[in-house]
Amino acid sequence: MAKRKGSYAGKFLRVDLSTGKVEKQDLDLDFAHKYIGGRGFGSRFLYDEVPPEVAPFDPANRLIFTPGALFGTAVPAASRTTATAKSPTTGMHGDGHASGRWGAMLKSAGYDMLILQGAAPKPVYLWVDNEKVEIRDAGSLWGKTTMETHQALQESLRDREVGTLCIGPAGEKKVRLASIFCDGITGTFARTGLGAVMGSKNLKAVATRGTRDIGIADVAAFKKAYQEYLQVISVDPYVPPATKYGTCRFMYHRVKFGIHGAKNWRLGDFDWKPLDPEVFRSDYQIKASSCPMCPVRCRREYRIPAGKYAGTATKMEWETIARSMTCGVNDPEAVIYFSHLCNQYGLDIEGVGDTIAFAMECYEKGLLNDQDTEGLPLPFGDSDVFMEMTRKIAFREGLGDLLAEGSLRAARKIGKGAEQFAMQVKGSEMSAADPRGMPVRAVSYATSTRGSDHLRSNPYVEELITPEEGLQFFGSAEAADIFHGLQGKGRLLAWSENLVTIGDLLGLCKFAYYRSATLTYLRKKGVELATRFYNACNGTRVSEEEMLEAGERAFNIEKAFNVREGAGREKDIIPERFVKEKLIGSGPSGGAVVDRQKFDLILDEYYGARGWNEKTGLQKRETLERLGLKDIAEDLARRKRLG
Amino acid sequence: MNVHLKLYPPLSDAAGAVEISLGVKEKATLEDVVEALVARFGNGMRRHLFDTESRIIPSWAVFLNQTIVPFNQPGALKVPVKEKDEVSFILNIAGG
């Protein structure tokens, strides 16, 4: 079979689970080159098809899967697929991004996008086998864990290579912290509760087999870009720790800066030594591997050899460790087991960890009592309680039913001021590290279009630029001053949001392309090579500026979706704890709070850089029109939501 | 004089140790510490501290005793060190 010249498969697949209707639509290449793929396709279709009157669990909500534009090619670390829906966590734009073969299978089957709408009357799974598309009974799969579901599909379809998406018990029960898992536990569409949307549609899984090739238009240009990519990562000191420890490496940074956010984001210091990356590497690591086509190799799998969790083996990332510390847990075996439970039940580790920490603080403060917890005490640091609450959330048992709503909704039901302990932005729980002492990071959590998120931007650019680069690229040398700088920070943040969005359009890993030790390496990988790979694969002549603008366009569509839902500047905030309570600790951020005045100054500059109204945070007509989004500008104008 | 160095990856891998004592000249600065580190461990160390244009990589930071000195700040490399100072090198990149 001749290879297709270009990285697009050429069709969209739409399945209505209510009616069983299957539609295939040709991909318009003008649309493709404007929105690129991945997050660009997903955000545009979500905006067009899910208006404010559609609730997240309404069958009319869409669940859209879009492999990145370069997924399926041989581009290194191009293995990410985006899932998009209105989020049951935030009530706004929701998306998640996962690695795994499923996205490549979808493209090899002939589709650049899978749009799911409606809701099946009983549990089903979708079987996409190249041209053949079938809705099948999933009665025997309902109730199974993620890995059990993946394996059952492989067996029943008699294909060990089949790609799968599935939810676990948590998604079935519409836990708002539920995720969608790819190829067993290979990848996770973790955030914004998309597993619950899938559950609301009675869709247990999607199995996909594709056998077509995706071709490359300009092989010579592709090879040259590939060699240059390998050259950059061979000299970037960001890479060796990733290859050695996986994402667990971030512990060392958190330790030195004292920004753990332990015990529900109160403590900068924490007894971390039992969780040293070297402990995980030497005592528990059984496999170091990579996502498809990635030379960085930062995936890690761990196995607990003995003790009460003996035999447990799972993949685990840094955020599992971080969120365990949020609950005061520093037993490495408990951390691995927590990852295992979330992976099998189909839960968002960050959301669950922070929500349990919220409950622990409510218990500590007397807002939850033994009657609320059915006699189960909720002290910080108790790993047995940590596991039991994870299970209860997954199955909506007892207090778990309340916490399954996420920390903000749970806090509103508890009342008595509990909301101050819900560490979330736009309803989505915090991730990564404590922002106190580092103002632009606090703002980055606030401006993320899917709620608190450290992967929506790269404010860490402030750590790797020189003052001269700060002046050249962001208009002020202060942009390079982590602790005291203000000028240039808003521009840096806006640029970094556009930058990392490129990765989500193309399906490139953030760690392989959008983190580096120098701005030169970062721009080389994240802008220049990403664009050259796209052009080499598709025979296009997209400029680097146009690729950054494509990132800006997608970000603006998501923002417009949220604006249409009613969100303005008042939603671009962070938890009050960061503003009012000093971080307890001895590191550089110890004693710091987020200075509200500095926060607002950076946010003002950010809105200015984005071309949004600084007072309201709403988008201006000219900005949307510059990005080719005139129809969205007119929609917002009709709703009186333009800035 | 000697300063006490704590190293995190990838420098610890290049040095083969996470803590070392490093001899530097009297009235040394952090720049002298970097130079002594490269002189002792060679290109395996240099490739992590300098970019392909031989510029110091700005995302390195040191904790000089308990005070952080990011290398991307003006004058960072001119900060003096004293006998028995503890100098921790850490790649100042978050992002997990």
Enter the DSSP assignment of A109: T
In a domain, A2, yes or no: no
Which H or E run contains A389? helix A383-395
Question: Hey, what are A583's tokens?
Answer: 């971080």
CA distances from A72 to A106, A151, A250, B42 (A): 9, 23, 30, 41
A308 lies in the same domain as A205: no
Query: Mean pLDDT across chain A, nearest whole number?
Result: 96
| Average pLDDT, integer, range A65-93 | 97
How many CA atoms lie less than 13 Å away from A197 in the CB half-sphere? 36
In a domain, A216, yes or no: no
Distance of CA A549 to the CA centre of its chain: 21
Q: Count the helix, strand and coil residues of chain B and give each as a percent rounded to the nearest 5.
A: 30, 30, 40
A406 lies in the same domain as A445: no
Task: Check pLDDT > 80 for residue B93.
Answer: no
Question: Looking at beta carbons, which residues of chain B come within 8 Å of A272?
Answer: none
A414 lies in the same domain as A338: yes
Cα A247 from Cα B96, distance rounded (Å): 7
Q: Out of A235, A481, A588, name the one closest to residue B47 (CB).
A: A235
CA distances from B28 to A101, A393, B49, B56 (A): 54, 57, 18, 17
Cα A365 from Cα A491, distance rounded (Å): 40
In a domain, A228, yes or no: no
Pairing mode, strands B86-91 and B2-7: parallel
CB contact under 8 A, B59 and A467: no
Task: Check pLDDT > 60 for residue A3.
Answer: no
Q: Out of B9, B60, B74, name the one closest to residue A244 (CB).
A: B9
pLDDT band at B95 (very low <50, low <70, confident <90, very high): low
pLDDT band at A293 (very low <50, low <70, confident <90, very high): confident
CB pairs under 8 A between A and B: 109
A409, A89 in Cβ contact below 8 A? no
In a domain, A229, yes or no: no
Query: Residue by residue, what is the 3-state secondary structure of A40-52?
Result: HHHHHHHHHHCCC
A161 lies in the same domain as A252: no
Between A81-90, A139-148, A239-248, A380-389, the lowest mean confidence (pLDDT) is in: A239-248
Q: What are phi and psi of A496, to 5 degrees?
A: -70, -30
Question: Looking at beta carbons, which residues of chain B come within 8 Å of A322?
Answer: 96
B76-88 CB burial, b ≥16 within 10 A, e <16:
bbebebeeebebb
A474, A492 in Cβ contact below 8 A? yes
Q: Out of A245, A247, A460, name the one closest to residue B93 (CB).
A: A460
Q: Count the helix, strand and coil residues of chain A and give each as a percent rounded to the nearest 5.
A: 45, 15, 40
Cα B80 from Cα B86, distance rounded (Å): 12
The letter for the amino acid at A64 is I
Between A143-152, A170-179, A586-595, A620-629, the lowest mean confidence (pLDDT) is in: A586-595
In a domain, A223, yes or no: no
A337, A305 in Cβ contact below 8 A? no
Angle value at C-alpha B5, between A276 and B86, nearest 5 degrees:
100
Looking at A370, A390, A422, the residue that finishes a domain is: A422
A456 lies in the same domain as A523: yes
pLDDT band at B96 (very low <50, low <70, confident <90, very high): low
Task: Check pLDDT > 90 for residue A495.
Answer: yes
Residue in A175, A127, A168 with CA at minimum distance from that of residue A149: A168
Q: pLDDT tens for residues B13-60?
A: 999 999 999 999 999 999 999 999 999 999 999 999 999 999 999 999
| Average pLDDT, integer, range A354-362 | 98
A468 lies in the same domain as A418: no
Q: Out of B10, B13, B95, name the one closest to residue A515 (CB).
A: B95
A455 lies in the same domain as A363: no
The letter for the amino acid at A470 is G
A390 lies in the same domain as A476: no
In a domain, A579, yes or no: yes
* Pick among A228, A244, A247, A253 to test the B interface (most B CBs inside 10 A): A253
Q: CATH no. for residue A365? A: 1.10.569.10
In a domain, A427, yes or no: no
Question: What pLDDT was estimated at residue A223?
Answer: 97
Looking at A209, A234, A266, the residue that finishes a domain is: A209
A361 lies in the same domain as A463: no
Distant-in-sequence, close-in-space partners of A95: CB < 8 Å, separation ≥ 6:
A39, A42, A43, A82, A83, A84, A85, A189, A191, A192, A194, A450, A558
Question: What pLDDT was estimated at residue A1?
Answer: 44
Q: pLDDT tens for residues A384-440?
A: 999 999 999 999 999 999 999 999 999 999 999 999 999 999 999 999 899 998 899
- Nearest chain B CA: its distance from A515 CA (Å): 7
Question: What pLDDT was estimated at residue A2?
Answer: 46
A235 touches chain B (CB under 8 A): yes
Kindly write down the DSSP assignment for every residue of A571-633, as one continuous string. Answer: GS---HHHHHS--BSSSTTTT----HHHHHHHHHHHHHHHTB-TTT-PBPHHHHHHTT-HHHH
A489 lies in the same domain as A592: yes
Cα A57 from Cα A630, distance rounded (Å): 29
Segments forming the whole domain that contains residue A136: 11-209
Question: What pLDDT was estimated at residue A4?
Answer: 60
| Average pLDDT, integer, range A121-149 | 98
Domains in chain B and their CATH numbers?
2-91 (3.10.20.30)
A385 lies in the same domain as A452: no
Q: Out of B51, B74, B92, name the one closest to residue A520 (CB).
A: B51
Q: CATH no. for residue A491? A: 1.10.599.10
Query: What is the sign, positive or negative, of the torsion defined by CA atoms of A524, A528, A532, A534?
Result: positive
In a domain, A625, yes or no: yes
Structural domains in chain A (count):
3
Kindly write down the DSSP assignment for every residue of A429-483, as one continuous string. Answer: E--SS--TT-HHHHHHHHH-BTBS-SSS--TTHHHH--HHHHHHHHS-GGGG-TT
Q: CATH no. for residue A154? A: 3.60.9.10
Kindly write down the DSSP assignment for every residue of B35-65, as one continuous string. Answer: HHHHHHHTHHHHHHHB-TTSPBPTTEEEEET
CB contact under 8 A, A256 and B58: no
Question: What pLDDT was estimated at residue A483?
Answer: 87
Share of chain A above pLDDT 90, in %: 96
Those residues of chain B whose CB sits closer than 8 Å to some CB in chain A are 8-10, 13, 47-49, 51-53, 57-61, 63, 66, 68, 70, 72-74, 88, 90-96
Cα A337 from Cα A165, distance rounded (Å): 22
Question: What pLDDT was estimated at residue A214?
Answer: 87
Looking up tokens 């910080």 gives A380
A481 lies in the same domain as A573: yes
Looking at A188, A209, A230, the residue that finishes a domain is: A209
A139, A77 in Cβ contact below 8 A? no
Question: Looking at beta carbons, which residues of chain B come within 8 Å of A481?
Answer: 73
Measured between CA atoms, the residue of chain B closest to residue A515 is B95
